[in-house]
Amino acid sequence: MRIVITGGAGFIGSLVAGELLERGVFRGSEVTSLVLADRMPARVSDPRVEAVTGDLAEVVPRLFAEPVDVLIHLASAVSAEVEADTELGMRSNVDATRALLAACREQAAAGRVATFVFSSSVAVYGADPAAPLPSIVDETTLPAPQSSYGVQKLACEQFIADATRKGTVDGRIVRLMTVAVRPGRPNAAASSFLSSIVREPLNGEPAVCPVDPSLEVAIASPARTVNGLLAVAEAERGEGPGRLRGRIPVNLPALTVTVQDLLDALESVGGSDARALVEMRRDPAVEAIVGSWPARFDNRRAAELGLHADADALDVVRAFARDRAAAGR
């Protein structure tokens, strides 16, 4: 089986790749080839891995030089940078996805339909005066994105659903919660601070919290996110427990916490000195984007696939601290 991961050198892409290599099988078939496509070369030493480096829209022909059984599309320009540069988002998010779907369509014409797993986002939701968000959101809630990033993700969802309807891909759309806590350095996502306010203080570095600490957010740990992506990717279609029904997206299980909950968990794990490294400095632009996203979800569709949210904020922060210690940082 040949699996392609776009964004394969990124944080989630690397974790998904590592999990697939460790399992060695996908839907009962041996993973013989894993292609990791990204702007930066993937650093994985395994004979099954091929790294493809370059702009995604330009390397699509290389990705489909041989038949693709599964395409896990994680590559994306993120929320704050897309809000600042709409054209960047259109190229990186919409045009690249369309190029992948076109390649899948050509492959399907030759008799081989790829499973297309798309990482979407809760940014597709938002409140509108004519359609306010309900207190609890599920997959039937009308999307009304309040950012360019959310609009682009929603557009891609519809392209993939239409291709699935036509039989040129087997599309699986997974809406990710904010992944926390991420290692590494901050990125351009508006929600990046949700990791920074834990990660940097535990490393003895200062961090800024740009929102009111009472703000509720929906998060998922890296482990739950990877497990959810692969569960949706591997699920058989049909009715009943463990099966994927219809073409609509799956919202991954959400843990609803306040920013204050994360700060309290930081103090529990890192002590008062770590907590003192977080400066409260409101940023209206960040607060507007993150505050437009829903924080409370009905997780029943994910639960049908055996997926569940993290226990609480302390569990999430402790998991990050364990991973950090295991990595020697």
Model pLDDT for residues 298-312, shown as the tens digit of each residue? 999 999 999 999 999
Q: Which two tokens stand for residue 250?
A: 């799956």
Closest CA to 251 of 314, 292, 307: 307
Rounded to 5 degrees, φ, ψ at 45 are -100, 95
This prediction has a pTM of 0.94
- The Cα-based distances of 216 to 10, 134, 260, 323 in angstroms read 27, 15, 9, 25
**Burial annotation 58-80 (CB, 10 A radius, 16+ → b, else e):** ebbeebbeeebbbbbbbbbbbbb
- First-to-final CA distance of the chain: 35
* Active site (annotated) includes residue 125: no
Q: How far apart are CA 97 and CA 157, in angstroms?
A: 10
Q: How far apart are CA 75 and CA 235, in angstroms?
A: 22
- Looking at the chain, the whole-number percentage of residues with pLDDT higher than 90 is 90
pLDDT band at residue 203 using 50, 70 and 90 as cut-offs:
very high
Length of the chain: 329
Domains parsed from the chain with CATH numbers: 76-326 (3.40.50.720)
Q: Is the pLDDT of residue 175 over 90?
A: yes
Q: Which of 118, 149, 297, 320 is catalytic?
A: 149
Model pLDDT for residues 126-146, shown as the tens digit of each residue? 989 998 999 999 999 999 999
How would you class 30 by CB atoms within 10 Å of its CB: exposed for 0-12, middle for 13-18, buried for 19 or more?
A: exposed
Q: Which two tokens stand for residue 73?
A: 């599309």
Beta pairing, strands 250-251 & 236-237? unpaired
pLDDT band at residue 329 using 50, 70 and 90 as cut-offs:
low
Give the pLDDT score at 42.
Answer: 87
CB 176 within 8 A of CB 117: no
Give the mean pLDDT of 273-282.
97
Q: How far apart are CA 246 and CA 4, in angstroms?
A: 24
Q: Which two tokens stand for residue 35?
A: 């292609």
